[in-house]
Amino acid sequence: MIRKNINLLFLLISTSIFSQNNEIGFFAGGANYIGDVGPTTYINPFSHNASNNLVAGIIYRKNFNDRISARAKFNYAKIGSSDIWPNTVDYRQARGLYFRNEIKELGLGIDFNFFEFDILENSIQMTPYISTGVSFFRYNALRYQIGDLEAIKYGDASNISIPITLGYKIKPLNDFILSFEITANHSYTDNLDGSQPGEKQKTSSYYFGSTLSQDWYVFTGISLTYIFGTKKCYCPN
């Protein structure tokens, strides 16, 4: 009985993995941050210092039906901001602080398609979609020395974030899906910018900014995924 149950479980897992409802590919685009340094534009990945505000990663999707899929992702991003950038409020411009940071993010989530999206259909498929989940990320712990304008790294830190994604995808070819999406990540740290370093850093740094909300980081870009697996066959014996 136990052997039968194990064989049945193995059959279900292998059928799920090798059936053609899987996607794997890459994501690339721009990144911006929202916090206590620089402008507070919500979606602004390429306006300033674009070479240092980039994101790239890999994505895997498991499609359960025409509406719902699970996703796993890994992203590496560079973010940064400066008080002297345009559209920054006057008091920040006079302050003149700036920072750079790196984010290494591993996440799991659920996608929901607004319209039916059949990846096995030969005709062109397209739909807007939303996604959310949870991400674990690593970043540089930063602080400002009294009198210095640039934040310096004093260690490594990790935390979680909650992504909120709005996207649009199209299947122009049988085996590929092209997506455009914007993901706003609510992090559970207020120190992506060095404004709230750890307690041990109080002697060599200063605290500033609001403590009422944590920092956000936003990824804007495109993904290209490849559909793989074995098509189901409903053939007579």
Average pLDDT over residues 115-129: 93
Contact yes or no for 137/103 (Cβ under 8 A): yes
* pLDDT score of 1 more than 60: no
Of 205 and 75, which is predicted with more confidence?
Answer: 75
Task: Print the domain residue range for 41.
Answer: 2-228
The reported pLDDT for the residue numbered 230 is 61
The region of weakest confidence among 4-13, 96-105, 123-132 is: 4-13
Of 122 and 18, which is predicted with more confidence?
Answer: 122
Residue 237 lies in a domain: no
Q: What are the residues whose beta carbons fall under 8 Å from the beta carbon of 237, sequence distance 6 or more?
A: none
How many domains is the chain partitioned into structurally?
1
Residue 102 lies in a domain: yes
* pLDDT score of 20 more than 80: no
Of 169 and 43, which is predicted with more confidence?
Answer: 169
What CATH code is carried by the domain that includes residue 198?
2.40.160.20
Q: Where are the beta strands (DSSP E) in the chain?
A: 22-34, 54-63, 68-82, 98-113, 125-143, 152-173, 176-187, 216-228
Residue 31 lies in a domain: yes
Single-letter amino acid, residue 160: I
Contact yes or no for 106/139 (Cβ under 8 A): no
Render pLDDT for 193-203 as a digit per residue (tens, 0 to 9).
999 888 777 66
- CA 14 to each of CA 63, 113, 138, 177: distance values in angstroms, whole numbers, following the listed order: 15, 26, 33, 24
Residue 234 lies in a domain: no
Residue 235 lies in a domain: no
In whole numbers, what is the pLDDT of the chain averaged over residues?
Answer: 86
Residue 236 lies in a domain: no
The reported pLDDT for the residue numbered 6 is 46
Of 112 and 235, which is predicted with more confidence?
Answer: 112
Residue 32 lies in a domain: yes
Residue 117 lies in a domain: yes
Single-letter amino acid, residue 211: T
Render pLDDT for 34-82 as a digit per residue (tens, 0 to 9).
999 988 888 877 666 655 789 999 999 999 999 999 999 999 999 999 9
The reported pLDDT for the residue numbered 209 is 80
Average pLDDT over residues 130-156: 94
